[in-house]
Amino acid sequence: MFWKRKGKKKDGGDGDSGAASSTVTTGAAADEEPEAAPDTAEGAARKADDRDGEAPEKPGAAAEAKDEPAEDAADKGEPGTAEGTPSAGTAVDDEAEAADKAEDGTAEPAGADDDGKADAADAADADDDGGVAAAGSDDEADDGVGDPADDDSGEEAVAPEPDVPGTGKVDAEGVQRVRTAGVLTADDEEFDVVSSTWIIDADKEGVIVIDPANDAAAILEAIGDREVYLVACTNGYNTHISAAIEVAARDEAPIALHRRELRAWRRVHGAEHRPDLEIEGGGSLSAGDLEVDILPIPGTSAGSVAYYISERGVVFTGDSLRAGELGTVGGAYIDYTRQLHSIGEVVLSLPPDTRVLPDSGPETTVEAESKNFDSWVAAD
């Protein structure tokens, strides 16, 4: 499926005369469990595989989602596209809307089927609107991006930047971090957080924005006069999507979100403002000169994804993987075993020097986190 629009001139005129074009493409894909364990932790990943579904959840975890039967059926549909185009994701969303109406006492007589129930179960993974905190750490003390894994170099390590709102500089790979303050609500509790939004140069004229949170004005200020080609969210918690509509609206950019996160989206933005691209793991997005692979990593939410840009050597993991730990939501694991499996077989199978850019804390690398995997398996 394709979503295409012309880039705009900087003076606000029509982009048909010499302006760069931006094409956002979603490849047909289904969220399937990966087959191969990562080379960096092969034995541990297989161990996690054997125990998947048997091991108890991490103490203090939220309720585990029981959505697999209906999810498997739903995953066989085509990925959604720009609003107005029928898709399997749209059908799932319609059923979820019916479920929401039922909760409000306004349900329509038709549409209550097993898929709708499964969607409601999916929503249990993402009912609470929130994301996770973010802070910067860097090799270059002023850009908010760095690699804490290189402790063996003999050089003095750079201390992490304060966990406070602020905007880093664009690094050598064209990546910039914006930290914004917000509030995460999870299990009827509120947590003050600082969330990371990532801005990536897609070409000389425009950018991709990942997880726009909390403060749209600060994000747009960091973007400046560059055009927003695409807004992509790793899941539906509010600190990953709260600024998405305002950031996308400036340049009429499409918003991408996994279709299992639509109910969580509606809790923040309502049913009238839908994401333009209802994506699935295993597909891809194209914007400017970049191809972005969509990696399915359910665990913190049923529709959690990572965005991998191979030519830049970076993967954006949201709240699923942070430096030295599997990510939590409000300090709790939603589905620890599933999250462990996702990270071990999907993210840790990427090249070892791939930079891992999370929604919270310093960046890390696939190599560094592969060394931690055995301890995560032991804790399962």
Q: Which residue has the higher pLDDT, 282 or 8?
A: 282
Q: How confident is the model at residue 189 (pLDDT cuts 50, 70, 90)?
A: confident
The DSSP-derived string for 202-251 is -SSSEEEEES--S-HHHHHHHHTTSEEEEEE-SSSSHHHHTTHHHHHHTT
Beta-bridged to residue 286, according to DSSP, are 291
For a pLDDT cut of 70, what percent of the chain falls above it? 57
Interval 21-28 mean pLDDT: 59
Query: What is the pLDDT confidence band of residue 26, given thresholds at 50, 70 and 90?
Result: low
Distance CA 188, CA 185 (A): 6
112: pLDDT strictly greater than 80: no
pLDDT given at position 360: 82
Q: How confident is the model at residue 162 (pLDDT cuts 50, 70, 90)?
A: low
Secondary structure class of 358 (helix, strand, coil): strand
Spell out the residues 6+ positions from residue 281 whose beta carbon is closer than 8 angstroms to its own.
29, 30, 31, 32, 258, 294, 295, 296, 297, 305
Rounded mean pLDDT of the chain? 73
Question: What is the average per-residue pLDDT within 158-168?
Answer: 74
Residue percentage of the chain with pLDDT more than 90: 52
- What is the strand order of the sheet 314-318 is part of? 284-287, 290-296, 305-309, 314-318, 355-358, 364-365
- Say which residues have a Cβ less than 8 Å from residue 4's Cβ, sequence separation at least 6: 21, 22, 23, 24
pLDDT at 174 over 50: yes
Please state, in angstroms and rounded to a whole number, the distance separating the CA atoms of residues 172 and 201.
10
**Is the model's pLDDT at 12 over the cut of 80?**
no
> What are 82-108's pLDDT values in tens digits?
333 333 334 434 444 444 444 444 433
With vertex at residue 77, the alpha carbon angle to CA 74 and CA 80, rounded to the nearest 5 degrees, is 110
* Closest alpha carbon to 265 in 302, 312, 290, 299: 302
> Per-residue pLDDT for 159 more than 90?
no
Query: Structure pTM?
Result: 0.67
Q: What are phi and psi of 178, to 5 degrees?
A: -120, 125
DSSP 277: E
Distance CA 144, CA 193 (A): 17
* Burial degree of 127 (CB within 10 A; 0-12, 13-18, 19+): middle
Q: In the predicted model, is pLDDT for residue 117 greater than 50?
A: no
Which of 3-7, 165-169, 178-182 is predicted least confidently? 3-7
First to last CA, the chain: 39
| The pLDDT value given to residue 22 | 52
Backbone angles phi, psi at 331, to 5 degrees: 80, 5
What is the per-residue pLDDT for 259? 95
Task: Count CA atoms within 13 Å of residue 171 on its CB side.
Answer: 27
The pLDDT of 205-228, averaged and rounded, is 97
| Look-up of token digits 């709260």 | 242
pLDDT at residue 14 greater than cutoff 90: no
pLDDT in tens, 118-139: 444 444 443 444 333 333 333 3
Residue of higher predicted confidence among 317 and 79: 317
Rounded to an integer, the average pLDDT of 257-265 is 96
- d(CA 63, CA 335) in angstroms, rounded, equals 7
**Cα→Cα distances 214→165, 328, 331, Å:** 11, 19, 19
CATH topology of domain 2-8+27-149+161-379: Metallo-beta-lactamase; Chain A (3.60.15)
